[in-house]
Amino acid sequence: MDELINRITANVGIDADTAQKAVGAILAFLAKEGPADKVKEMLAAVPDSDALLAQAPADGMLSMGGVMGLGQKLMGMGLGMGEISGVAKETVGYARENGGGDAVDEIVASIPGLSQFV
């Protein structure tokens, strides 16, 4: 987990606490929206993914779903569009590099609108 968070803080320019919460939110979104078998494979490629998922903020009563809902949640953490895109690209890239490439590609392809952010 530290490697991914350090990479995000260096390349995106956000603090480690926000990076952990943002990655948790992205992984929770993928777990909710993506095909379960592929998500399980991808999560296995992200060390300490359970700890990151636990840091994801809970959905609020007025939360919308899909990619827009994820964007709303990440903006609520104080992230701008460039930072959201950066965190998403780093997270997905990290999962790909650590052996989850095919699973990640299938997850991204299965969620409408996600490919434009990763």
Assess if CATH 1.10.8 describes domain 2-116. no
pLDDT of residue 18: 96
Q: Kindly give the confidence (pLDDT) of every residue in the chain, 118 residues in length, as a single tens digit, with 9 standing for 90 and above.
A: 899 999 999 999 999 999 999 999 999 999 999 999 999 999 988 888 888 888 887 766 556 778 888 888 999 999 999 999 999 999 999 988 988 788 999 999 999 888 877 7
Residue 17 CB: number of other CB atoms within 10 A? 12
Domain chopping of the chain, boundaries: 2-116
